[in-house]
Amino acid sequence: MSVLLEVIATTVADARAAAHAGADRLELVTAMGEGGLTPSVGLIEAVVSAAGVPVNVIVRPHSRSFVYDADDYAVMLRDIRAVKAAGANGIVVGMLDAERAIDREGLARVCEAADGLAITFHRAFDEARDLREALDVLLGVEAVTNVLTSGGKPSVLQARAVVRELVRQASGSHCTVLAGAGLTVDAVADFVNRTHVEAVHFGSGVRVNGNGLAPVDPAKVAQVRALLDAA
């Protein structure tokens, strides 16, 4: 089975380019420079209708931290309902408590609001105090189908051994380790071979000049797709 390729889209043009070039799934975000925030309903609806592949939408109300208060959760739950109504495949969320453990109570509320949407736990995971403990918690939550991680490092390429361990830990479960942050076209084949990941996530690595704020480069997406198919 070929490795799944998820690409970040920030515009309708990104979404079309990535899907046509071979992305299996999109992560739709706005404010990529801040690590991704919840996009507008108009953008979600337009991308869902244009993409032709599953669209997962980030639900992140601000970029201050991954510790959320009651008001933040109220906003997130409303956004989740809007994402569902817009026809998206899933949501991308992440929340920690003050001790840098997974906020289980907050996650439970999000799962309830998602009501069957696929849930990816995003790179808030990488700020958890103990990645193996955090993954253990997420493996106990049936609704969480993906964990996006760079293995706790700024770039996933600095964390091959950690990612391989996380893949082993999640093996045979309902949850897929989605490796991302810092992946490049040149490094992806070796990375997949060493870590045995079943899914990879690209942002800047498949954009014009490797710039996160630039458009998706379909040639790079197609190149990654070909490398993953060959691997």
The Cα 170–Cα 17 span in angstroms is: 31
Contact, 172 vs 139, CB < 8 A? no
| Cβ neighbours around 101 below 10 Å, total | 14
The Cα 18–Cα 119 span in angstroms is: 21
Confidence (pLDDT) at 1 = 74
Q: How many domains does the chain have?
A: 1
Q: Is the whole model's pTM more than 0.75, yes or no?
A: yes
Confidence (pLDDT) at 40 = 98
Confidence (pLDDT) at 221 = 98
User: In a 3-state reduction of DSSP, which class is residue 102?
Assistant: strand
Range of the domain at 64: 4-230
Tell me: the pLDDT tens digits for 59-77?
999 999 999 999 999 999 9
pLDDT (mean) for 176-195: 97
The CATH code of the domain that includes 220 is 3.20.20.380
Of 93, 84, 90, 82, residue with least CA distance to 24:
90
Percent of the chain with pLDDT over 90: 97
